[in-house]
Structure 1
Amino acid sequence: MASISETSGEFGVAMGMAAMGSLATFVHRTGLDGDLPAGLPGDAASAAREGLTAAVATAEHLAGRLGAELLDSARTAFTGGLNAVALTGAVVFLTLAVAAALILRDTAARDGAAGD
């Protein structure tokens, strides 16, 4: 029985990481697509969509202002992804906290009524 509990806990963590990572990637790519600097070569845009590290590496190889604009866009999109994950996590946490409080309150009320 303990192995099932342990496995379900690990599965929950893995699914949470996958879901939150997918959300962060979606928000990052969506934000970056709408904010790429004009005149950016197609291969540079594709590389920048891969993630912040790829965008930084790509920006280093671009001339002057174009590289700085790409870096700014990539950082803004990455921060947007992190903010979306933080907000989603906070909402999930608060929802579970309220559900736990309600369930425990109902359980305590039933136990108190049964003891009378």
Structure 2
Amino acid sequence: MAVESADELGIAFGTAILGSVLLGFYRTGLADTAPADLPGGVLEAAQETLAGALLYARELPGELGEALATADTDAFTSALSATGGIAALILLAVGIFAGIMLRGVSSQADLTETEDEPDHEPTTAP
């Protein structure tokens, strides 16, 4: 039970951190690429979620809406790519750490040695 809770906590913690990184990259990317002539408050609202940004883009007239939709999807794609790269680096680091920590540990040693059984029969003196 404790192991399952630890696994769930680790997954939730990793999701929260990577989700925050993703949102940070998305907000920055959208701020850099969004059209300059957006109505007041639209950029801030669009930076909250991709779905919300696309809804705003549908409501804006003509080219302004298309430009916002393009900026939204480009910012999200770039953010997802950067976050995936960070996650891959973390996974690589964990793999290297595990390899270093498990170096010299034999998986067969635990199967062949038991503490309950002696290696040889005890000898008695005559």
Where on the TM-score scale, by shorter chain, does this alignment land: which range? Answer: 0.7 to 0.9
Give distance in 1, aligned partners of 2:28 and 2:43: 13
Specify the alignment match of 2:101 in structure 1: 103
| Whole-angstrom CA distance in 2 between matches of 1:56 and 1:40 | 14
Q: Which of 67, 70, 73 matches 1:69?
A: 67
Counterpart position of 1:85: 83
Could you give the per-residue CA deviations for residues 54-108 of structure 1, whole angstroms, max 9, x where no partner exists?
Answer: 1110011111111111011111111122112210110011111111112222334
Task: Give the superposition deviation at 1:46.
Answer: 2.0
**Where does structure 1 differ by over 4 angstroms across 4 or more consecutive aligned residues?**
none
Any stretches of 5+ residues in structure 2 without a counterpart?
110-126
What is the rounded CA distance, in whole Å, between the counterparts of 2:104 and 2:17 in structure 1?
31
Give the TM-score taking structure 1 as reference length: 0.86
Any unmatched runs of 5+ in structure 1?
112-116
TM-score scaled to structure 2, two decimals? 0.79
Aligned to 1:29: 27
Distance across 1 between alignment mates of 2:44 and 2:93? 38
Quote the RMSD (CA, aligned, Å). 1.3
Which amino acid is 1:64 matched to? G
Between structure 1 and structure 2, the one with the greater Rg is 2
Q: How many residue pairs are counted as aligned between the two chains?
A: 107
Of all paired residues, the percent bearing the same amino acid is: 36
Measured after TM superposition, the shift of residue 10 of structure 1 is: 0.7
Q: Which amino acid aligns with 2:104?
A: D
